[in-house]
Amino acid sequence: MQLVCESDKLEDYLHETDDVNYSHKMIKEKTEELFSPTQTEVEKAKIAFEFVRDGISHSWDIQGTQVTCKASNVLTYGEGICYAKSNLLAALLRSQGIPTGFCYQRLMLFDTPEKGYSLHALNAVYLTSLDKWIRLDARGNKAGVDAQFSIDQEKLAFSVNETFDERDYPVIYTKPNIKTLAVLKEHHDAFELYTQHLPEDI
């Protein structure tokens, strides 16, 4: 799939927002722990991705009830759904001057269309040294899900089955989707949010 940038300005993929709040003390402390000046941007991208993928639990996987949204809160509580985890990965990488955007897939929420659909969030990262965008999905691995860092062939958490009306959106957005932010801020029980309130599409 050919990715399409929402903006042709890389600096738009570096902005700090209320939810991608990389100036927060918690984020700064974590970046000092994860990164060093000797690391390349590719190394930093891999380190950040693997930390968010493995070090932050997906709320559904642990049957957690805590709803997180801001990158700093995701870090504080150590959990979040894909929308929240993508905010944290963007914050970590943008803090290092690495352009990071937001991408989405429309997927079946569970195993059949009858059980509904949901909008799934992941990130796209621009690697200047390679002059290319790569997509990374830090939602967290489990049985049947094996997302990996790759600069060549995508290894995402989920593949899209268009036969079942699933969709891979090609746009790399500069900000998180307004629907995904809204559900995180309007609900306080992650289980209820995940099963009843996730948006189905862009």
Residues in CB range of 182: below 8 A, 6 or more apart: none
What is the reported pLDDT for 110? 85
**Mean pLDDT (the chain, rounded):** 97
Predicted confidence (pLDDT) per residue in 83-131, tens digit = 999 999 999 999 999 999 999 999 998 888 998 999 999 999 999 999 9
Buried b (16+ CB within 10 A) or exposed e, 111-126: eeeeeebbbbbbbbbb
Q: What is the mean pLDDT of residues 4-10?
A: 98
- Percentage above 90 pLDDT, the chain: 94
| CATH class of the domain whose range is 4-197 | alpha beta
Domain locations in the chain as residue ranges: 4-197
